Amino acid sequence: MPQIVLVHPQIPPNTGNIARTCAATGTELHLVGPLGFEISDRYLKRAGLDYWPYVNLHYHETLYTFQSHYQQRGGRTLGFSVRGNTNYAAFQFQADDWLLFGSETTGLPPEVISECTATLYIPMPHPKVRSLNLSVSVAIGLFEARRQLGYLV
């Protein structure tokens, strides 16, 4: 099953909402530091409600420790970015994909994007809207991957 990776998330409620989505879908959630908050942050906990016991959460202190972890497990790294090359809906997902999302303020760092197997974007036709909320973007990407892989039954 695809996994969600948040690289340097900054806003606790977004991460809490994403954790809730991961709990509901049985999706592993990987947080890559440094984070813009403490794991014990009350806003993070509140957004995740009482679902935290059901989140398969992994914390990686650095990009290096995350990269070592995913290389041991295998799979493709798919970077979601407003500067992605492929529309997420036209991309063929695989069960061992890692869906990477960057911080709310800066997106994925260039060194992460350059290492990704593919970079995907969510089309937004309005010229004045730069991006969607991080938790919305994660849900869109995750549910499209799950739909393609037959996990929505």
State the binding site for S-adenosyl-L-methionine.
102, 122, 131
> What residues form the annotated binding site?
102, 122, 131
Q: Which of 95, 96, 76 is nearest to 86 (CA)?
A: 76
Residue pair 83/53 in contact (Cβ under 8 Å)? The answer is no
Cross-strand partners of 98: 3, 77
Tokens 């069960």 locate to 95
User: ω before 34 within 30° of 0 (cis)?
Assistant: yes
Token pair in block for residue 135: 């938790």
Residue pair 80/59 in contact (Cβ under 8 Å)? The answer is no
